[in-house]
Amino acid sequence: MPKRVVIIGAVALGPKVACRLRRLDPDVEITVIDRDDMISYGGCGIPYYVGGDVNEIEDLCSTASHAIRDPEFFRTGKGIAMLTRVEALAIDRKGKRLKIRHLEDGKEEHLSYDKLVIATGSAPVRPPFPGADLPRVKIVSNLHDAQAVKDLLKQGKVGRAVIVGAGAIGIELAEAMTDLWGVETTVIELADQVLPAALGKTIGRIAKRQMEDHGVKVMLSERVIRIGEAPDTGSLLVETLSETLSCDLVVLSTGIRPNSMIASAAGLAVGRSGGILVDSRLRTSDPDIYASGDCIELRHLISGENQIMPLGSLANRQGRIIADNISGGSSLFTGTVGAFCLKVFDLGISKAGLTFRQARAAGFDPVFAVVSQPDHAHFYPSANLIFMTLIADRRSRKILGIEAAGKNGAAVKARVDAVAVMLRHGLDVEDVCTLETGYAPPFSSAMDVINNAGNVLDNILAGRNRPIGAAEFLEKLAAGEMQVLDVREAPTAKPFVDKYKDRWLNIPLLELRARLAELPRQTPLGLLCDTGPRSYEAQVILDAGGITDTLNLQGGYAMILATGSPLL
């Protein structure tokens, strides 16, 4: 009798397990069930469908050769029974049966299995404030939701929208509504930055600036109290702690929770976040039941903590591992470093490892460097800046995380990916300083931005570079707590000297050694150049001259511009 494998869930993980398993074992009996009638689609493409980058909803359900992945595709092309509009009710572990209900007619039956795979994904969190269930308050978590929102936009029924939550989906939907549809969009976020679970404050500020430059209003550290309807116009009224916003559509993007109820009810182990616990072979506490994707907890390889990591890319990799193991292999999934990337209008953002706050919460003593550098040789035309944050543990010098942003998203992602691959094996600051990357002027500098980030962090750890971030730099300048020493050329610095008078000193770097006597000895100095290297060199010169009360602006004036706080 052939082995019977039943899979609950048919979006990303489930179809991957089924198709890989069929290629490994032509005799295995595979049944996949799902509550929905839209299956095997690219959920991460939903915001791009709403925004028009993807024209038709079927494009998200098709293969690279344009075949639609519907039940017939799986039946005839893959030899897989795909049952849609079927709900999993309960797992009988002792009898090795899955109780199901056909949603069209209510019929209930049991499917027997030798191996069961739970690929139930996650469910969006609907906040508990009043009005969260009004008809024009949407959650975009599947293709039906996406179609409903896009229909409203196409019909011209949305002039103003409010998105609650500045995570990845919230930001992608804000771009979709603003860019194509011209909707006046406001994003409300409870945390003090956008992408609070993914990015540190520096790159987070750059992302916020990018959104604002494209017309999105961003409200941080703000809480929604309730949503109501205006009796005269029927508009939605979003009441926050500070104001009331009128709009035509509200989209909730306030997080997800694992769909682990059926596993928990069957007595399978779940973690603190509610995700199913699995071993390195992706088996649950029952060795005949596997689970993966958004419904499980993964070990973060840097912090050692378990977390939810809802990415289709991970689900597909995990699906291959499960299929290998069901067919008798011994493939392992050891954990994640949290590699992540996102497009924010014209900006590409990427990250791997921990943010500064996450590292501190995990018990490390984090220190970070920020650099601004062109994505290819400075003499090659059309260079774009990459802004990069590199984080290490002060005591061990172990690299904990990397974040980057820039207009050339592919270049940004490539740099972060290079470090992400090494993070899981452990690397220190010296490894980044000497990391070998390909070089040609159209693609990079001879000393790549990754290497320079490592060099700056090495200098900070050694005490040679005493840095200050852009936000603190601006605060100290505004409070009169320091003077600025601008080491750029006089024509560049003149507008700043004219505005800030004696608070802004200008001595070009090449003249600095000969003019040390002109500098104050009792006043803290904030050192500034375009991107940071010259101001660091100035700090070294000043130290040698006995002027040590200095702070070097990380990333230079370019970082101030990128984070949205121009000094002129």
Residues 38, 100 contacting (CB under 8 angstroms): no
Asked whether residue 440 falls in the same domain as residue 379, the answer is yes
Flag whether pLDDT at 566 surpasses 80.
no
How far, in whole angstroms, is CA 190 from its chain's centroid? 17
pLDDT value for 311: 83
For the chain, what's the residue count? 568
> Residue 381: is it exposed, middle or buried by C-beta count within 10 angstroms (0-12/13-18/19+)?
exposed
Asked whether residue 105 falls in the same domain as residue 218, the answer is no
Angular region, 24: left φ>0, alpha ψ -120 to 50, beta rest: alpha
Q: Is residue 314 part of a domain?
A: yes
- DSSP assignment of 438-449: ---TTT--SS-H
Average pLDDT, the chain: 94
Residue-wise pLDDT for 143-193, tens only, equals: 989 999 999 999 998 999 999 999 999 999 999 999 889 999 999 999 999
Share of residues in the chain with pLDDT > 70 (%):
100
pLDDT value for 378: 86
Flag whether pLDDT at 138 surpasses 80.
yes
Asked whether residue 391 falls in the same domain as residue 285, the answer is no
Angular region, 40: left φ>0, alpha ψ -120 to 50, beta rest: left
Residues forming beta bridges with residue 30, ordered by sequence position: 5
CA distances from 514 to 29, 286, 420, 518, 542 (A): 82, 75, 45, 9, 11
Q: For position 220, which CATH number holds?
A: 3.50.50.60
Asked whether residue 144 falls in the same domain as residue 243, the answer is yes
Q: Is residue 353 part of a domain?
A: yes
Amino acid in position 56: E
Asked whether residue 161 falls in the same domain as residue 204, the answer is yes
Tell which of 233, 254, 275 closes a domain. 254
Residue-wise pLDDT for 97-121, tens only, equals: 999 999 999 999 999 999 999 999 9
Q: Is residue 335 part of a domain?
A: no
Q: Is residue 77 part of a domain?
A: yes
Q: Is residue 503 part of a domain?
A: yes
Q: Is residue 486 part of a domain?
A: yes
Q: Is residue 41 part of a domain?
A: yes
Asked whether residue 107 falls in the same domain as residue 11, the answer is yes
Residue-wise pLDDT for 22-48, tens only, equals: 999 999 999 999 999 999 988 888 888
Asked whether residue 105 falls in the same domain as residue 11, the answer is yes
Domain count, the chain: 4
Asked whether residue 235 falls in the same domain as residue 295, the answer is no
Asked whether residue 194 falls in the same domain as residue 143, the answer is yes
Residue-wise pLDDT for 249-261, tens only, equals: 999 999 899 999 9
pTM: 0.92
Residues 527, 539 contacting (CB under 8 angstroms): yes
Q: For position 495, which CATH number holds?
A: 3.40.250.10
Residues sharing a CB contact under 8 Å with residue 24, sequence separation 6 or more, in sequence order: 323, 324, 327
pLDDT value for 62: 87
Residue 51: pLDDT band by 50, 70, 90 thresholds? confident
Residue-range definition of the domain harbouring residue 476: 467-562
Asked whether residue 179 falls in the same domain as residue 202, the answer is yes
Q: Is residue 218 part of a domain?
A: yes
